[in-house]
Amino acid sequence: MTSHHDTGAKTVAEVGEFGLIRAVNENRRQPSSTLLGPGDDAALIATPDGRVVASTDVLVQGVHFRLDWSTPEQVGRKAVAVNLADVAAMGAVPTSVLVGLACPGDTPAAMITELADGMWAEAAAAGAGLVGGDTVQADQLMISVTALGDLRGRDPVTRAGARPGDIVAVCGRLGWAAAGLAVLHRGFRSPVSVVNAQRFPEPPYAAGPAAAEAGATAMIDVSDGLIADLGHIAEASEVGIDIRTDALDISHRLIEVGTALGADPLRWVLTGGEDHALAAAFPPFAELPEGWRRIGSVTMPGSGLTVDGEPYHDEGGWEHWR
């Protein structure tokens, strides 16, 4: 639901901090887990499980998003999605998000309300509410989102439980966001389905709790690249992992884009981040939940991360400050 507060053509400085807060929060619906939402010193969230899963990410303009590539609404969706995907990767059901927003005073207030529209929409898509946050002045646009989730009585699925012989599986798209980034860097804006994958991801939120219910032994959100993130599971679990390329889903659209750009779509699938698919290990005879597909196996300690049985020597994914 879009805010009906009239910000007109005003800047955030003209609207003021509290006017902006009213503009982004009025006429919004909260899920039943929100006992007290925005407007007080802190929010109150129901935690029937007695434990809270929490994750936070910071998005900086020019590093994580560009407003000449994405609309504010798309940026808002992305900011929430990347955090809620982490909650789902623990096997939890998303419940709520808190947002910290920093921007210059001459930022159009309408841009911030559009950003908020995207945040509210993505939170609602995951069954969560936007329950509070903070706004401050800064030299550039920065968004910090903290996401909370409920385990509903299940144990959390960490990165450290994979065992030799386990199945490695993924749920969600791989390589699409990297392909979209390559298209945007070339100055193009189509194909839209590929470019939009970079503008805002579509994490399979329900797949995390489903994997936990099916007995997943380890799980991770694929944010930095399949090889990099499965490498985190291998390291935390003290095992090896082998990926089979013939089991990877490389769509015809990625092949078409790769051919047009002279790029290898397999590399996008193996090393491209920001799709926020989920990757997990399951016991050998587990029945994979709907949407999950096997792409490899957990191997013995010391065997490392391999692709078709061989070490992968290219860069495995994104890492800040590198």
Residue ranges for the known binding site for ATP are 133-134, 159, 223
Quick one: which of 144, 157, 152, 158 has its CA closest to 83?
144
Report d(CA 61, CA 266) in Å as an integer: 29
DSSP 167-203: EEEEES--SHHHHHHHHHHTT---SHHHHHHHHS---
**E strand spans, 86-193:** 93-103, 129-137, 142-150, 167-171
Annotated binding site for substrate: 64, 274, 318
3 state DSSP class of 91? coil
Annotated binding site: 41, 55-57, 64, 86, 133-134, 159, 221, 223-224, 274, 318
Quick one: which of 222, 188, 254, 211 has its CA closest to 91?
211
Report d(CA 81, CA 99) in Å as an integer: 12
Annotated binding site for Mg(2+): 41, 55-57, 86, 134, 221, 224
The strand pair at 240-243 and 310-311 is best described as: unpaired
Answer for the pair 270, 226: CB distance below 8 angstroms, yes or no: yes
